């Protein structure tokens, strides 16, 4: 299922595990998500320069907009 965004619950799990020091391969086996997808979401979080606390305070709709919605060219 290419290009299918993960649920916000799974996104929160990925970021929590990564913040806890787990590696991409460990996260992959725990979350049943591809390594490339995990790397993509970790990269997006780093590009947003968002702390883990800021990430946790976001609502699911805000996270969906930040992580899953691509800006369309005008």
CA distance 45 to 69: 14
* pLDDT for 51 beyond 90: no
Q: Which residues lie below 8 Å from residue 58, measured CB to CB, with a gap of 6+?
A: 66
Burial of 73 (0-12, 13-18, 19+ CB in 10 A): exposed
CA dihedral 50, 56, 60, 63 (to 10 degrees): 10
Is the distance from CB of 55 to CB of 11 less than 8 angstroms? no
Which pTM was predicted? 0.79
Residue 39 confidence (pLDDT): 93
* pLDDT for 1 beyond 90: no
């Amino acid at each position: 299922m290419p290009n299918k965004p993960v649920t916000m619950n799974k996104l929160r799990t990925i970021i929590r595990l990564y913040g806890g020091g787990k590696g991409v391969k460990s996260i992959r086996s725990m979350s049943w998500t591809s390594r490339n997808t995990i790397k993509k979401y970790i990269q997006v979080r780093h590009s947003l320069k968002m702390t883990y606390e800021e990430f946790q305070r976001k609502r699911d709709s805000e996270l969906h907009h930040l992580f899953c919605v691509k800006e369309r060219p005008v």
